[in-house]
Amino acid sequence: MLVIHIMINRMNNYGSSSDDDDDNNLTPDEMQQLDELMADTDELKKVAARTVLRATQILDMNPQDNDVARMLLAEAVVMMQIVHRIETLFKNDSGK
């Protein structure tokens, strides 16, 4: 629901002369949910980094476990893709 609300605000504010953030139209509860979502993405980054570390440790200990390491790396890639998409949606554009 939060995603839909923010995206509707962005569409409504698109092209407006105002430089205000979309966040001005959010309720305190929605802002808290957004903050929690961003904290979750930070945690997911850490999980992805630990997953990559596990994959390299597996390869170091037993190079025959190549399939397991590849699976872990593929999982880390998915995690980081999700983080990137969330951050792209909700973080301020650096070009502004």
Total domain count for the chain? 1
Whether residue 13 is contained in a domain is answered as: no
Whether residue 33 is contained in a domain is answered as: yes
CA-to-CA separations, 68 to 56, 58, 60, in angstroms, rounded = 10, 8, 12
Whether residue 86 is contained in a domain is answered as: yes
Whether residue 49 is contained in a domain is answered as: yes
User: Over the stretch 15-54, which tens digit does the pLDDT of each residue have?
Assistant: 555 555 555 567 788 788 888 888 999 999 999 999 999 9
- Which residue type is seen at 8? I
Range of the domain at 48: 29-91
Statement: residue 11 has pLDDT above 60: no
Predicted pLDDT of residue 89 = 81
Q: Chain-centre distance of CA 28, in angstroms?
A: 21
Predicted pLDDT of residue 65 = 87
- 80 three-state secondary structure: helix
- Burial class (CB within 10 angstroms; exposed 0-12, middle 13-18, buried 19+) of 2: middle
Predicted pLDDT of residue 93 = 47
Question: DSSP code of 93?
Answer: P
User: Over the stretch 65-76, which tens digit does the pLDDT of each residue have?
Assistant: 899 999 999 999
